[in-house]
Amino acid sequence: MGTKQYFVYLLTNYRQTVLYTGVTNSLERRIWQHKQGTFEGFTKQYKCDRLVYFEEYGEIEQAIAREKQIKGWTRAKKNALVAATNPDWRDLAADWYGEGPSPSSRLRMTR
């Protein structure tokens, strides 16, 4: 059986007015769901569908603990976290669902 993967991720909207922090065991599927507006609530209301940051963990407990930690941070600290690896705040999943390599292989390339 393969190694389990869990992801903590940050989404924003096109105006970068809000940040959403989440956790999932399938980043590809979850981002697709956000882009489709599948979930009622905060991300749909504020149109948070741009992946600007993610981290990978091997244990769900680690991922949940990190998600809670980030959620407790100020907006400035979250902004700094994103800017450290994605200074242009580009959508890291912008090309995941079109032509080309599978999203899983693209994940490996962005780490």
Q: What is the dihedral of CA 104, 96, 38, 24, to 10 degrees?
A: 30
Q: Which residues contact 39 (CB under 8 A, 6 or more apart)?
A: 33
CATH assignment at residue 15: 3.40.1440.10
* 83 inside domain: yes
* 35 inside domain: yes
Tallying the residues shown for the chain, one arrives at 111
pLDDT in tens, 88-99: 999 999 999 875
pLDDT number for residue 2: 63
* 17 inside domain: yes
What domain range is 21 assigned to? 6-110
Instruction: Answer yes or no: are the C-beta atoms of 64 and 22 closer than 8 Å.
Output: no
Residue 108 has pLDDT above 80, yes or no: no
Task: Read off the pLDDT band of 100 (50, 70, 90).
Answer: very low
* 86 inside domain: yes
Residue 70 has pLDDT above 50, yes or no: yes
* 36 inside domain: yes
* 98 inside domain: yes
* 32 inside domain: yes
Provide the domain count of the chain: 1
pLDDT in tens, 31-68: 999 999 988 899 999 999 999 999 999 999 999 999 99
* 1 inside domain: no
